[in-house]
Amino acid sequence: MKEEKESTAIIGGADAPTCLVLTPRAERPSRKGRIRQSIYQWKYRRAEKRISANAHTLEEVAAYAGIRYRAAETPGTQRKYLEQKRAFKEGLRALGKEAGGGDEGVPGRDIPLDFHLYEIKTAGGHMEIEIDFFWKRMSISYVSGRKKAGKRLKKIAQDLYAYYGVSEEDVQSRSERYAALAAILSL
């Protein structure tokens, strides 16, 4: 087995020193990797065919989760809520910098938020739904200890994203919302 060296170079950047790591060229994926990738692409195309323009607002999604899955809103004083809100703000800041806006896209300390955290508890796990009505963002995460409970939570997440849906404009422009829905439905 050949060992290839990684070389590291430190150059002076505009703000501070910048580190460059030069790695060897990636090898061709294994047969197992190619099969997994083709299965994922097939599921993604199948999910795209199932998507139709039927968008709902985040308020409707929150109400749907409350009625259908008994989602309870976490009080704003709980530690979990405060940590999730702080992480959400950091994510928005990073998203603003990534978009090329620097700090101008998302203001520093005064980021306006209308953040809500909902929880769905099941027999084998729980799900957290983060919704910000100001920035029109929703994310879902779930934890389970058993495989069967994990599958159930995945189905709930897919149902909520499908209910959120996409508009006709999203379908035509293949927007971020459309790509996220297709990715979730293809899991």
The verdict on residue 168 lying in a domain is yes
Residue 70 within any structural domain of the chain: yes
Q: Is residue 173 part of a domain?
A: yes
Tens of pLDDT, residues 138-169: 999 998 888 899 999 999 999 999 999 999 99
d(CA 98, CA 114): 22
Domain of 149 in residue numbering reads as 53-74+113-185
pLDDT at residue 27 in the model = 79
> Is the pLDDT at 75 greater than 60, yes or no?
yes
- Structural domain contains residue 119: yes
In a domain, 120, yes or no: yes
**Mean pLDDT for the chain?**
83
- pLDDT, tens digit, 9 for 90 and up, residues 88-98: 888 888 877 66
Share of the chain above pLDDT 70, in %: 80
Comparing 20 with 83, which gets the higher pLDDT? 83
In a domain, 121, yes or no: yes
Whole-angstrom distance between the N-terminal and C-terminal Cα of the chain? 36
Q: What is the dihedral of CA 149, 151, 153, 159, to 10 degrees?
A: -150
Is 74 a residue whose pLDDT tops 80? yes
* Alpha-carbon gap, residue 114 to 176, rounded angstroms: 21
What is the reported pTM?
0.74
What is the total count of domains within the chain? 1
- CA dist 142 and 156 (Å) reads 10
Query: Per-residue confidence at 1, pLDDT binned at 50, 70, 90?
Result: very low
CATH number, residue 139: 3.30.310
103 compared with 145, residue with greater pLDDT? 145
How distant, in Å, are the alpha carbons of 46, 98, 186 from that of 183?
11, 21, 5
For residue 15, being part of any structural domain is answered with: no
The tens digit of pLDDT for each residue in 3-61 reads 555 555 555 544 555 566 666 677 788 999 999 999 999 999 999 998 888 899 999 99
What does each C-alpha distance from 178 to 51, 53, 74, 183 come to in angstroms? 9, 10, 28, 9
- Is residue 88 situated within a structural domain? no
